[in-house]
Amino acid sequence: MLINLDEEIEAQVRDIMRRYPRLVDTKRGRSVGDPFVIAVAQARKLTVITVCADLGIRWVRIIDFFREQKWVL
């Protein structure tokens, strides 16, 4: 799925990176989270399957997501 970035999402990314500068380590090429995924979730009031509680974004464990969707494994 592709989402066009808009001003709101870009502003959210800047805020997230300001608050969590170690989220993406460009020197080592490592990331513990994707600030764009988090920003889109925040801007569009979506759910991210990760820990985003500090930003007020609803999150669930993957098994809980499956249960909410009424998926059967």
Q: What is the pLDDT of residue 43?
A: 93
Q: What is the pLDDT of residue 1?
A: 65
Q: What is the pTM of this model?
A: 0.64
What string of pLDDT tens digits covers the 73 residues of the chain? 678 889 999 999 999 999 988 888 777 766 657 888 899 999 999 988 777 778 888 888 778 888 999 998 7
Give 35-42 contacts, CB < 8 A, sequence gap 24+: 36/5, 36/9, 38/12, 39/9, 39/10, 39/12, 39/13, 40/3, 40/9, 40/12, 42/12, 42/16
